[in-house]
């Protein structure tokens, strides 16, 4: 990188702190009219800001783009909901959550669900406003293209979350110009996916390589390509079942691989230590949602990664974490002997209070016993490695991984197997992920880590699915995978039996209740009542 590109990382830090708050807040600060008048009776404002006069300078565009990114970190999206209480799967249960929104008690009036829908559409509206006014910006064409590419990606990603969770939803591609605009009907799922693909393909030709930035909080070319692979794999599965899309998924995963920009971090645990320490690893992590600070000062960009989903600890100084997200025995038993990922993904120890010192609880690190499986917390996001001080009980600076290179390798292996069977290329992709998991050199064949040769196509497919379970747990992708494979409901009904059979009675009521509420209607969320009340063109999803 040249000096300008190196300085872009620091500029990004400033933008991240100052600009990712709501666009409305940013504009409100700038919209304050100058109170002086040139003439005593002159009542015309000297200066004011409207959508037509904003979006002119590079700073305007940076702030507007940051506001589009902003909804990703909302607590009702990837702040905690879309990898937690709205994403129940066989990888976790929420301890002691018998009632309320964290007990998987969902209906069309559920506030947190309504706010998730709202946050996604706010992100889309902000993207549409930026796209509508981008051509009038007084900046270079290259700057416009970069902003446009990232904005198109984000709009597509917000719609991907909506269609994945709610099915057919209104597809709005321009910003609201008047409150009297008629409400839109639901757009067919296939049409929404077609638009997602179009936006992503357009973005691919506009955004920059990740090496230009040196960090992964912005959308880069390989991040777009990886997301296209994910979208195409989804289209190949449920609900569209368009198997021709496996070839497209293979093509885009292969683009990332052959870019030679990315590689597996040799250490699985180091990926998550880097996230806790705000260190960018652009080889392993193609895209992260960024957080910063502890929300105790003017800058309030902290997140809940590590506190909401983290290793239980009652001490703020050590790194407080609520005792919410617990492992399932199914996930624990999915790891083979020698797989180092198990004891990082699932914490093998806890922090126990052992007395008081001042206002802080002293803690002792204690290992779990071999039969204490359901007692264990999710372990990927460990606040004991967090560097930011002082720590806050709730808010952390830990980033959340959205796309990792191991995910790309596994997507390639899955798509290649569906298109051509378990080829050498498919084996190579999955075995690299497995070798890293066993602490081996990823490029060197290993008799322990590598899959057995000669698997049938169906067996290789199951091996890839199992590997995704082991590698990507607690990263907000498991429920999505189960949905596109068409076995989400069956899997969760099986978890009810597992909880009833082998779970301690002190823990099982919450887990059984959470899993048992997933029935045939749970493939889609209900359309929020608040939306149906104002839009006569919306009908409710089946079963709700």
The reported pLDDT for the residue numbered 16 is 47
Q: Which residue has the tokens 């507007």?
A: 64
d(CA 302, CA 295): 6
The reported pLDDT for the residue numbered 50 is 81
d(CA 379, CA 312): 9
The reported pLDDT for the residue numbered 18 is 41
**CA nearest 160: which of 207, 114, 192, 131?**
192
The reported pLDDT for the residue numbered 27 is 40
103's CB contacts (< 8 A; 6+ apart) are 94, 97, 510, 513, 514, 517
**CA nearest 229: which of 257, 260, 261?**
257
d(CA 292, CA 215): 14
The reported pLDDT for the residue numbered 357 is 56
Count CB atoms within 10 A of the CB of residue 500.
13
| Inter-CA distances, 189 with 21, 139, 164, 185, Å | 31, 37, 9, 12
pLDDT along the chain (544 residues), means of 10: 42 44 38 32 55 92 97 96 98 98 97 98 98 97 98 99 98 95 97 98 98 97 99 98 98 98 98 96 98 91 95 90 96 98 98 70 91 98 95 96 99 99 98 98 98 98 98 98 98 98 98 98 98 96 97
The reported pLDDT for the residue numbered 28 is 37
Cβ(110)–Cβ(341) below 8 Å = no
CA 54 to chain centre: 30
d(CA 157, CA 194): 13
CA atoms within 13 A on the CB side of 415: 28
The reported pLDDT for the residue numbered 362 is 85
The reported pLDDT for the residue numbered 152 is 99
CA 271 to chain centre: 16
Taking only the tens place, the pLDDT of each residue in 167-225 is 999 999 999 999 999 999 999 999 999 999 999 999 999 999 999 999 999 999 999 99
């Amino acid at each position: 990188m040249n000096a300008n590109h190196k300085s872009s990382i620091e500029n990004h830090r400033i933008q991240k702190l100052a600009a990712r708050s709501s666009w409305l807040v940013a504009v409100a600060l700038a919209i304050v009219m100058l109170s002086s008048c040139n003439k005593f009776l002159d009542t015309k404002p000297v200066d004011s800001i409207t959508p037509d006069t904003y979006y002119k300078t590079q700073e305007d565009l940076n702030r507007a783009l940051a506001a589009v990114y902003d909804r990703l970190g909302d607590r009702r999206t990837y702040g905690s909901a879309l990898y937690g209480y709205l994403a129940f799967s066989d990888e976790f249960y929420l301890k002691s959550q018998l009632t309320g929104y964290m007990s998987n008690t969902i209906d069309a009036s559920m506030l947190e669900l309504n706010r998730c829908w709202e946050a996604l559409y706010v992100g889309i509206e902000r993207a549409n406003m930026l796209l509508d006014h981008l051509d009038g910006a007084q900046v270079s064409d290259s700057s416009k293209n970069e902003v446009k590419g990232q904005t198109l990606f984000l709009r597509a990603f917000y719609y991907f979350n909506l269609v994945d969770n709610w099915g057919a939803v209104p597809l709005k591609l321009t910003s609201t110009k008047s409150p009297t605009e008629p409400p839109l009907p639901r757009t067919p799922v296939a049409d929404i996916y077609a638009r997602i693909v179009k936006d992503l393909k357009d973005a691919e030709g506009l955004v920059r390589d990740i090496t230009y930035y040196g960090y992964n909080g912005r959308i880069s070319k390989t991040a777009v390509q990886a997301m296209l692979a994910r979208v195409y794999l989804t289209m190949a599965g449920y609900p569209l079942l368009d198997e021709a899309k496996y070839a497209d998924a293979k093509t885009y995963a292969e683009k990332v691989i052959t870019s030679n920009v990315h590689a597996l971090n040799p250490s699985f645990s180091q990926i998550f230590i880097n996230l806790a320490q705000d260190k960018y690893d652009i080889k392993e992590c193609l895209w992260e949602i960024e957080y910063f600070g502890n929300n105790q000062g003017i800058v309030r960009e902290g997140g809940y990664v590590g506190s909401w989903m983290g290793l239980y600890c009652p001490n703020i100084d050590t790194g407080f974490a609520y005792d919410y997200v617990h492992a399932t025995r199914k996930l624990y038993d999915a790891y083979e002997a020698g797989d180092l990922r198990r004891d990082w993904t699932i914490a093998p120890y806890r922090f126990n209070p052992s007395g008081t010192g001042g206002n802080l609880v002293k803690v002792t690190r204690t290992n779990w016993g071999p039969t204490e499986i359901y007692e264990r917390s999710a372990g990927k996001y460990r606040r004991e490695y967090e560097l930011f001080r002082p720590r806050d009980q709730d808010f952390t600076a830990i980033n959340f991984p959205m796309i990792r290179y191991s995910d790309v390798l596994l997507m390639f292996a899955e798509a290649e197997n569906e298109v051509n069977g378990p080829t050498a290329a498919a084996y190579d992709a999955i075995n690299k992920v497995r070798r890293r998991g066993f602490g081996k050199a990823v490029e060197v064949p290993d008799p322990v880590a590598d899959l057995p040769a000669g698997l049938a196509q169906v067996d290789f497919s199951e091996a890839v699915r199992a590997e995704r379970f082991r590698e990507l747990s607690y990263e907000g992708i498991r429920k999505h995978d189960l949905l596109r494979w068409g076995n989400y409901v069956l899997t969760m009904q099986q978890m009810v039996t597992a909880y009833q059979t082998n779970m301690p009675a002190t823990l099982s009521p919450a887990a059984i209740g959470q899993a048992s509420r997933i029935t045939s209607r749970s493939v889609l969320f209900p359309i929020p009542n608040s939306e149906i009340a104002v839009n006569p063109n919306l009908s409710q999803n089946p079963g709700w």
